[in-house]
Structure 1
Amino acid sequence: MRVALFVTCVNDAVYPSTGVATVRLLERLGVEVDFPQGQTCCGQPQFNTGYRAETVPLAHRMADVFDGYDHVVTPSGSCAAMVRNHYPAMGDDQAAALAPRMYELTEFLVDVLGVTDVGAYFPHSVTYHPSCHGLRLIGLGDRPRRLLGAVRGLDLRELPGAEECCGFGGTFAVKNPDVSAAMGRDKVRSAVSTGAEVLCGADNSCLMHIGGVLRREGDPVRPLHLAEILASTEEEPWS
């Protein structure tokens, strides 16, 4: 099977290890991964800030760049939700055509490849934060937890108030910094209470926000994208 990777802006600029982990994981499962060089932003920041007309050219570019692929995989529920939920609502056929071919990583693993045990090994205690877009807009459900539950050596711990927003919300954090920071502190307190070594999520934007609070509070919990846990094996542990 051949797929295209949509790595997203945040991963490309700040968390390239997540993109590397996604490719390593998919290739280990026998998937051929292409990385179209022309990919840019999906337009979510512009769309969420009210610049709807300015989003359309970005959506067109996305549709052009990923044309010809039956499956486009992204390690981001947020960006997947932008393409799947909002491109069709733009009333633009070219952009809408990409929507049914866009898959968040855990959806692709469970629904398309039909696997939950990806052969991962991660001997650490982990708690999982379900980000809002993945949870509410594209309905990831228990897919991430099923994948984590099959990882050898992993001790999965319940996160109190797991479905509560971490406070990032993209431009929400910029427009409402005090509220955003307070929500982030609530999420961090919940994570620390589990005693877990790692706070796992499927969106690095949320993990960036939570990680900032963790650093400021001096808490030892490490934020880490799900792809990096799933890419780890006993022979090739993820650092």
Structure 2
Amino acid sequence: MQSRPRVALFVTCLVDLYRPTVGFAAIRLLEAAGCTVEVPPTQTCCGQPAYNAGDRATARDLARAVVDAFLSYDHVVVPSGSCGGTIAHHYPSLFEDDPQYRPRAEALAAKTHELTSFLVDVMGMDQTLARYDGVAAYHDSCSGLRELGVRAQPRRLLAAVPGLSVKELAEPEQCCGFGGTFCVKYPEISTRMVTDKVADIRATGADTLLAGDMGCLLNMAGRLKREGSDIRVRHVAEVLAGLTEEVAPIGEAAP
């Protein structure tokens, strides 16, 4: 009998600090797919903010800690395209001159997956755990889409959710304007980008906005709230795992 794959969940900073429910949803989905899930207690930031800011020394220090904590697992799964992309695509280059950590980073990169991609492409999951009555617009995060090839996988899973229909955005590949440190460095450009993105979302007539990256979701939820919209904002894992009754939408206070 084939053993259950031993999967490490990389929680991400934003999930840990702002939306722990996403982590619980990811665990529920991974276990339902047949995985043994562990959450390494020594994990910390993947180093992306430092990497984007050009602080390679700090990024390498953080990356070493991640490599040491996660390398022993069969797979590493991340409910975020941006953090997943950092580990899977940028870690090897961080250690290009380090003969000890370069092969370790490459090995980790090869087994790191975004959550919905892992469920569909690796575990062959084609069912979900819940019903959701509503119409959703789906936002593709830049890193998930361009670095990890995540597009069809979340839509395939959402298509299996009873009661849910998904509306496509007119410009689904346009950035929401968050971009990690981009929104701090260029706030006026970022604001214009998220304003355009929100207009695209509202034009679909959807009552729910879904995505797989907390940075994007927090950015868009904030803009929707400022514009007085009642569109509910959720991480895709929460809908797929059936945890929408347990936590308020992103950006809204708990009842």
TM-score (norm 2): 0.89
| Counterpart secondary structure, 1:69 | coil
Report deviation, 1:111: 1.0
Aligned positions, number: 237
Q: Does 1:52 align with 2:56?
A: yes
Cα RMSD (Å): 1.4
| Structure 2: distance between partners of 1:134 and 1:38 | 25
Q: Does 1:64 align with 2:74?
A: no
Note if contact 2:71-2:104 (Cα within 8 Å) is conserved in structure 1.
no
- Please tell me the residue identity of whatever aligns with 1:115: M
| Counterpart secondary structure, 2:73 | coil
Note if contact 1:60-1:94 (Cα within 8 Å) is conserved in structure 2.
no
Residue deviations 1:89-113, cap 9 Å, x none? 1213332321011110011101111
Q: Match of 2:29?
A: 25
Query: Runs in 1 of length 4+ with deviation above 4 angstroms?
Result: 236-239
Residue deviations 1:129-159, cap 9 Å, x none? 0010011111113111111111111011121
Matches within 5 A, 1:173-184: 173-184=183-194
Report deviation, 1:238: 5.1
| Structure 2: distance between partners of 1:134 and 1:116 | 20
- Please tell me the residue identity of whatever aligns with 2:11: V
Among 41, 55, 58, the alignment partner of 1:37 is: 41
| Counterpart secondary structure, 1:114 | coil
Among 106, 122, 132, the alignment partner of 2:132 is: 122
Note if contact 1:161-1:190 (Cα within 8 Å) is conserved in structure 2.
yes
| Structure 2: distance between partners of 1:161 and 1:78 | 20
| Structure 2: distance between partners of 1:238 and 1:145 | 23
Residue deviations 1:196-237, cap 9 Å, x none? 11100010110010011011111111111010010018xx95
Q: Does 1:162 align with 2:172?
A: yes
Report deviation, 1:118: 2.4
| Structure 2: distance between partners of 1:172 and 1:68 | 34
Q: Does 1:76 align with 2:80?
A: yes
Structure 2 unmatched ranges of 5 or more = 97-101, 248-255
Q: Does 1:136 align with 2:146?
A: yes
Structure 1 unmatched ranges of 5 or more = none
| Structure 1: distance between partners of 2:40 and 2:73 | 11
Matches within 5 A, 1:186-201: 186-201=196-211
